[in-house]
Amino acid sequence: MTSELDRTLNRILEWIREEAASPEIVIEADTNLLAGELLDSMGFIQLISFIEDEFDVCLDSGLLIPANFETPGRIAGLVRRHAAAGNEGGVPS
Amino acid sequence: MSTLELIHGPLLLPRPGQLDRPALIHGSTRWSYRNLRARSFAIAAWLRERGVRRQDRVVLSLPKRPATVASLHALLMLGAIAVPADARWPARRLSRLIADAGPRAILTPPEKAATAEASVDGTAHSPQILVFPEEDSPGLDQIDSHANLPAAVEPDDVALILYTSGTTSAPKGVTLTHRNVTSFLAWAVREFHLTDQDRLVSHAPFHFDLSTLDLFGAARAGASTLLLDETAVMFPAHVAQLIADEKATVWYSVPSALIQLLNRGSLRDRDLSSLRLVLFAGEVFPLPPLRQLMKALPDREFANLYGPTETNVCTCYRLPGIPGPEERDLPIGKPCEHLQVEVLNEKGENVPPGEQGEIVVAGVAVTPGYWGKREESEACRSRGNPASYRTGDFAYLDSQGDLRFLGRRDEQVKIRGHRTELSEVDGVLASCPGVSECKTLVTGEGTSKTLVAFVVTRSEVDTRALRRHCLHWLPRHAVPSSFLQIDALPRTGTGKIDREALCGRLRESTGGQDKSDGGSTK
């Protein structure tokens, strides 16, 4: 499970570094994505689409709150919780 | 001169009872008009002490906060020119704005001071970097007098410069006078019956012209403004909850933001009964999501506003109901009373109804021009009238007397409401080491519109390097989502870049799924 979490985190970090963040900004698992205004609303919507496609999860609107997206680590945790729920047939939609 | 011809007029001469009414709401912060006024005076005095004078430009590289609104009012009180910037713009983008505007100062929060310093590096001007005091720092609260303010702010003084994408690789600044803005505000307050009972949602960033209604229109009506900051706007469900909790009455944004609210806002689960008016502008609202939104928010008034930054809103269409299945697009409506709006042919003559022509706007809200760009400003005038603006947008008058927007014939496109010149993107890409030629096209429709860049390189260039280069220089919406490297750009017989052929290449690469237009729609 831990390695799955690591893989998820790495893919998310890769995406943010590549697609969203300005090149001069260092992004790590605990970088606050919201305080530094790294993402804008368009980047955020793209991030959600990326997560849903890449990890085959469906993130319910109720999950799209600042607390769940503060850091790449938190996002990875959210994805794993919901991917696991999905395997048991309990994905919120 | 009437005080109401000045944007900050309502703070100088508040309505009876206005000072005790709420002005700004942001998170748990609530400022009354008394508070906003005191803060604005204090910041004006602070800026004056630091040498800011009438018609000096001051860049606000500040987040969306009540104190930023007070800073805008403070600059206007001093007769200075406010240049709002996006706190998320890359340093190089900011530096080009600074090089163009030649500001006396840049206002920045402490954590952004290094970015501001980097932006100033190498520019011919050397503006002061003014690190904005923390909200609760001593000093600002102690001054509550406008005795030090210059009396001579005139309605025709430039008040704001709003930067938009330029046709070269540099952004261009649309100057707006106090009178330009207040003529629009007077129209909007009257047209939509804004009162001190209203609470306007401020969704747009302050460098967007939409924000003038949210901030200054609210002050004029004695209404309050619910500020959605850069983080809040990323979370549609959170925004919907804020509308419910704060009992917002008026929403004004680009359609993309409303579509996000519809798709991700869980509107059904919120009590949005306070909302009475939904205004949208900045891009075409595709009808299917608009119909869904109007069903989700029944019995509200909806209006489609049209107008470039150079004129602000110049036509308005109030929807009589949910557009029927036979409707294919939404009219942009009839001219606003404070402006003349005509549809002209290439000779500058009015075209008959049904025939297409260019939208030309004349009147009191039309910009005096682009900052420091006399030739470009004059090139946009119609028949030499200095108070006119040729929009570059094409339209026709329908049988109901409403204008119908058709598109553009140049390279200006809208990406989620952000005006973007494809040639600016091309200019930035062409400056990337290794790139010999490039051409950017728009692909997709509505909120899924993105840019695709065709790039010819002299040597092997990593796509990541192209993206990084763009991220250094361009705001995010203008960074192409994909880069296709090709051997040569296809050309027509006359040597022009063959857009049709490029669109064909794009369709091939997306398996025929693509609808690119190279910039013909707004």
Q: What is residue B513's predicted lDDT score, i.e. its pLDDT?
A: 54
How far apart are alpha carbons B470 and B475 in whole angstroms? 8
Q: What is residue B55's predicted lDDT score, i.e. its pLDDT?
A: 95
What count of CB pairs under 8 Å joins A to B?
62
pLDDT in tens, B225-252: 999 998 899 899 899 999 999 999 999 9
Distance from CA of A84 to the nearest CA of B (A): 22
Alpha-carbon dihedral A38, A43, A45, A51, rounded to 10 degrees: -80
Give the residue, B141 or B229, on which the prediction is more confident.
B229
Instruction: Give strand pairing partners of B318.
Output: B303
Q: What are the Cα distances from residue B405, in Å, to B128, B395, B429?
A: 44, 4, 31
How far apart are alpha carbons A33 and A45 in whole angstroms? 14
pLDDT in tens, B304-322: 999 999 999 999 999 999 9
pLDDT in tens, A52-82: 889 988 888 788 888 899 999 999 999 998 8
Whether residues A22 and B230 touch (CB distance < 8 A) is answered with: no
- Interior CA angle at B227 toward B330 and B475, to 5°? 70
Q: What is residue A91's predicted lDDT score, i.e. its pLDDT?
A: 38
Q: Containing H/E element for B279?
A: strand B277-280
Task: Tell me the average pLDDT across B103-110.
Answer: 92
Mean pLDDT for all residues in chain B: 89
**pLDDT category of residue B280 using cuts at 50, 70 and 90:** very high
How far apart are alpha carbons B511 and B203 in whole angstroms? 37
Q: What is residue A1's predicted lDDT score, i.e. its pLDDT?
A: 53
How far apart are alpha carbons B468 and B440 in whole angstroms? 16
Whether residues B237 and A61 touch (CB distance < 8 A) is answered with: yes
- Domains (ranges, CATH) in chain B? 33-153 (3.40.50.980), 336-408 (2.30.38.10), 412-509 (3.30.300.30)
Q: Does A50 touch chain B (CB under 8 A)?
A: no
Tokens of B326: 């036979």
pLDDT in tens, B465-496: 888 888 888 888 889 988 999 888 888 777 77
- Residue B382 phi, psi dihedral angles, 5° rounding: -105, 130
Q: Does A22 touch chain B (CB under 8 A)?
A: yes
- Domains (ranges, CATH) in chain A? 2-85 (1.10.1200.10)
Q: Which residue of B90, B231, B265 is in closest CB contact with A61?
A: B265
Contacts of A32 in chain B (CB under 8 A): none
**pLDDT category of residue B519 using cuts at 50, 70 and 90:** very low
A17, A22, A47, best to mutate vs chain B, most B CBs in 10 Å: A22
Contacts of B92 in chain A (CB under 8 A): none
pLDDT in tens, A10-60: 999 998 887 776 667 788 999 988 876 677 777 787 888 889 889 988 888
Q: What is residue A36's predicted lDDT score, i.e. its pLDDT?
A: 63
Distance from CA of A78 to the nearest CA of B (A): 16
Assess whether pLDDT exceeds 90 at residue B354.
yes
Q: Which residue of B235, B266, B468 is in closest CB contact with A66?
A: B235
A45, A46, A50, A52, best to mutate vs chain B, most B CBs in 10 Å: A45
Q: What is residue B199's predicted lDDT score, i.e. its pLDDT?
A: 98
Q: What is residue B520's predicted lDDT score, i.e. its pLDDT?
A: 33
Q: What is residue B511's predicted lDDT score, i.e. its pLDDT?
A: 67
Please give the sequence-ordered ranges of beta strands (E in DSSP) within B300-402, or none if there are none. 301-306, 315-318, 334-335, 339-344, 357-363, 369-370, 388-397
For residue B2, the Cα-to-chain-centroid distance in whole angstroms is 27
Q: Which amino acid is at A39?
A: L
pLDDT in tens, B152-164: 899 999 999 999 8
Q: What is residue B368's predicted lDDT score, i.e. its pLDDT?
A: 96
ipTM at complex level: 0.79
Whether residues B234 and A39 touch (CB distance < 8 A) is answered with: yes
Contacts of A66 in chain B (CB under 8 A): 231, 234-235, 238
Q: Which residue of A23, A64, A66 is in closest CB contact with B231?
A: A66
How much is the pTM? 0.87
